[in-house]
Each structure stands twice: as structure tokens, then as C-alpha cells.
Amino acid sequence: MVKLANPLYTEWILEAIQKIKKQKQRPSEERICHAVSTSHGLDKKTVSEQLELSVQDGSVLKVTNKGLASYKDPDNPGRFSSVKPGTFPKSAKGSRGSCNDLRNVDWNKLLRRAIEGLEEPNGSSLKNIEKYLRSQSDLTSTTNNPAFQQRLRLGAKRAVNNGRLLKDGPQYRVNYGSLDGKGAPQYPSAFPSSLPPVSLLPHEKDQPRADPIPICSFCLGTKESNREKKPEELLSCADCGSSGHPSCLKFCPELTTNVKALRWQCIECKTCSACRVQGRNADNMLFCDSCDRGFHMECCDPPLSRMPKDTEIKINIKQESADVNVIGNKDVVTEEDLDVFKQAQELSWEKIECESGVEDCGRYPSVIEFGKYEIQTWYSSPYPQEYARLPKLYLCEFCLKYMKSKNILLRHSKKCGWFHPPANEIYRRKDLSVFEEKLCQQKYNVSCIMIMPQHQRQGFGRFLIDFSYLLSRREGQAGSPEKPLSDLGRLSYLAYWKSVILEYLYHHHERHISIKAISRATGMCPHDIATTLQHLHMIDKRDGRFVIIRREKLILSHMEKLKTCSRANELDPDSLRWTPILISNAAVSEEEREAEKEAERLMEQASCWEKEEQEILSTRANSRQSPAKVQSK
């Protein structure tokens, strides 16, 4: 004789489970025993024994997760509290035979009998199942029991957990793929429309198939005899050939039909249908309930961060009528809700703007905090909307990470491990350092120069330009900035080129000055030198030839300005710690070839400038000396 749980103790156990869950704790065996013994003075050993008996007769559900056992109430929370304490135990004690009758009832057969008798295409609700069973005359003794409704719900849940029933929302239907091993339901026309149609993917077409193994890998049966000793066709893997009965695989008839039309793979050979990679992140692979294809969570659109809990198959159905009943739909957002949300959003932004005192200036973000400086922006930046719309954006001055608040920035600064750019330091003088970022194959000595607003007008722009040409001189080749230059970049570089050429001409008084010599001494590209000479009006065309004109007044005026206003952050070549990388067979750019040709042409035409200058000076001297001689006479 099977020992049964005491209904009174079962009720106490269920009350303890509800109490523990209200305290946001896991209803373990130890907590349940402690709660029952504290509330009712029952021995913990007796409570533990009654708990196991309640699990055996289905009054309590036992769930194991990660090696830890938890106990649950099979009905909704509060169901047992709504029953008066004296009624249920009393009826249970007074009707021991009826309780025995319910415990001996095969709920799976009753549920299947009701669902098949109702013949509802989309499944039957539990309420309709209960009505159908109560209308059966041979089940009067069972349905008249006070605990019939409770045990029916419990039996339905256990049938779903065991795979005997399929639940789609509130509807239940029989899972013919795993119940009796049948290949098709009794009313097959109801189910093909429940799953979407499937077809071969482009990469699955014209693929070879392995020879099928005519033995089921699970029950070791054949297509003539499955686990239930009934004939059933086998499904074979297209890659390895291993086979299995749909009932052993727990495939429903619709899924079996879809799988037969596809290139099916077993669990060992399963490949992601999106990235077509096998074995990568096998634990994060999802299986489609409609075609049994595998997909990595990160390959889904949009990517998933965790496994979905439900097994619902969602089908997009074209809406045929405009009149849609939205009652009971939890995902419907009405226009009134949308208006309230927009009003709340506008009020929140107004409050933020009033507190910050920053007006809407059309730039997002309007202010950034960078180190100890607050900088008003000139342009809008493509930050995410939640950051761009903030009145002030906080940036880490080392790793440039952007944050929403000062507190987040302070916490980040304690963990940020960056204290200099991620490169090699090649120059240091006092508190000024320069780091080398990369080597340019196009021979550009600088790619981009940016001076933060709080450091502008302090000579850092000229310092960086001069430093780039210092590297070019160390390499022994001419350098040039990356083209095209911006408007501000063109002005900065042109001012630098003018000053360098004027200072070179001031310190060199040779009779023959070539553009190549200027290029070797300054590191400037010959093309840039020729362009600068044109801006200085020091090149003229005479008799079809280009002549370089030395403008002494311009050179002297520049040197006088330089003496009165000394430059800040002057470059010290001795502080450079850098060795150039020699590149053999370096390709010469088209720009450099054109510059060399133009330089050679200017060199040939510039050799006569000194002769013409001497002739001009001699004629002026003769014109001045002649009247002096007349006066002396």
C-alpha cells in the first residue's frame, strides 16, 4: 500500500512555500521545515517526510536548478489561502475514498479524451476541458470531488512539462509526436497552418547527403518498430547519417514534416544557419521550433543577450480588416498614453535646462567638461542621443570616454589606467612630451593637428608643425602635410613656411641659393617651397624665365618682429629621442615627382637672378656717382 501525505500537513507546507516566496527567498527544504515547525510546532523530520510524500502525489512540485532543489505550489499564489482552513482537511479526511479515487485517476488520458472530444483546431482551454469532463456521465464520481479542479490544473501542468501536451497561451493540444509514437494526429488539417512554411536556404541547395544509418540512435529500433513497438519513419542527419524516430526526438508532426523537406542536421553536426560555423559558442545556439535549424544568439537580428524562456512560434499574419479588437492586448499603446509620455518628457527636459541654465543653442552637446576645463562646443557631434541631449557631457582627458555625470567621471578616474597616449614617447622637454603614433607610407609627416581651445594661442600649433619637419630632416627626406589642407590648416602652414624661408634667406647670403638646398635644410617639400615663394612675390617671370627675387626689406622686417616677440614653446632638437626607420624601395609619390621637376626648372631659371641684381645695382651706382663728380669739379 502506498503511503499518502496528510492533507493538513500538505496545506501547511503550501502556506509555508507562499510565505517564503513573499520574503523573496527560495523555498528550499530547510526553509520549509523551519517555517512549518515554527508556525505549527511540527517536528522537522515529520515535515520533511510529508514534503516528499506531497511531491510524490503531485500536491507540491519539486524543481532542481544547478543542483539545488526548490518546491513550488502547482496552483496560482494565494489559491490555498482562499480555501478555509477547516474545509479542505475536513473533506479530505471525510472522503478518503474520494481522495484515493483522484490519486488513482490517469489525468493524461482524461486530458487527451477531452481535447480530442472538443476537436478545437487551435486547442482547448482548461475551462472548456473542465466543462467537457463534467458533462461525461461516467466521470461523475471524479468531477464531483471538491479537489477535481485543482488536480485537473496540476495534471495539465505536469502533462505540459512531460511533453504530452503542447501549450500555446491558454490553449492546450495533444503532442502526438511523443505520446504514442503516432506519425500524424487524428485531425491533421488543424495543424499544418500552425507552423510557417519552410524552404531550403541558398547555401543548403545542391549539398551532398551522407548515407543514412537505418537504426535509431535513441531506442536502437528501426523504421518498422519504434520505442512503442509501432512503425515510424526515421529522420537521418545529412552530414553524419545518424538517424532517430521523431517520437524519440520529441518532434511534433508539423516539425517532422518540415524537417523532411530540409537538409536536417543532428545535434552533433548542427551548424549555425547564419554564420555557417560549427562548434563555436555551441552553448549559445538556439533551435528553431519550426525547422530545427540552429542559430547563435549573436547571429540573430537583433542579437540576443540571453536565452528566451518561452517556446512560442510567432507567425506574421497579414491584417485583413481594419477593425481590430485590442482589448486584453498588453502590448498596445494608445494615443492617450503616447501624449502623456511626450508631456512628461518635455517637462523633464525643461527641468533639466532650468537647473543647468544652458539654453538650446543648436549644438549637441553644448558644453563638455574636459579635465578641469569647461568647453563650449562649436559644432554638434554624433554622440548617442541620450548623451548628445545632455546639457553637459563629461570626458576623460586620457582615454576620451564620455559619461553622463560628474560622479561617474570620478569613479572612472579611479579605475582608468591611461596616463598618456597609447604610443612611444619620442620627445620630452620640461612638462611637454610628444608621442609617436604610426609610420605613414605616403611620406606625410603629419596627418592632423588639433589644439584644444584652452591651449590655443600658446604656440603649440607651430610647435607641432616644426616638430614634424624635424622628423623629416632626421629621415633625410622632404616632408609635407596630408593634402588637402583645411582653411585653418592652410593659413597655419603658409605662415610657418613663410617664416622658415625668410629666416633661411636671412642666415644664408650665398650667391647661388637653390630650392633643393632650402629643402635639405628645412625638410620642406620643394613644391611647398615654390608655392610659398609665389605668395611672398619672390618669383618673377622675365624674358620667358622664372627668376627668384630677394626682398631684403621683407626679410629684415620679419627678423625685427621675431626679435621683439619671442616664440613660446620653442622646439629643442636635442631633446628628440627617435631613430628613423629605413624603408627600402619606397615608392615616390606623384606629388613629389612633380615637385622635383618644378624645383629643377626653378633652379635652372634662378641662376641668373644674382647677375641681374648686380647689373641693376651697378647702374644705380653709376647714376649716383656721376653728379658727385660734377660737383667735385
Active-site residue set: 482
* Grid cell of 369 as nine digits: 567638461
Give, for 64, the enclosing helix (H) or strand (E). strand 61-65
Q: State the distance between the two ends of the chain, measured CA to CA, in whole angstroms.
A: 159
The C-alpha angle 415, 416, 419, rounded to 5 degrees, equals 140
350 by Cβ neighbours in 10 Å (0-12 / 13-18 / 19+) ranks as exposed
CA distance 614 to 193: 103
Helix axes 7-22, 44-56, angle to 10 degrees: 100
Cα separation, 452 vs 446, in Å, equals 17
DSSP code at position 342: H
Retrieve residue 546's grid coordinates.
622664372
Q: What is the C-alpha to C-alpha distance for residues 409 and 392, in angstroms, rounded to an integer? A: 12
Q: Taking the CA atoms of 228, 232, 238 and 240 in sequence, report the sign of the dihedral they define.
A: positive
Q: How many CB atoms lie within 10 A of CB 102?
A: 21
Beta bridge partners of 605: none
Report the DSSP beta bridge partners of residue 287. 294
Region of 448 (left: φ > 0; alpha: ψ -120 to 50; beta: rest) is: beta
Helices (H) and strands (E) in the chain, counts: 20, 19
Angstrom distances, CA of residue 236 to CA of 243, 564, 583: 4, 92, 60
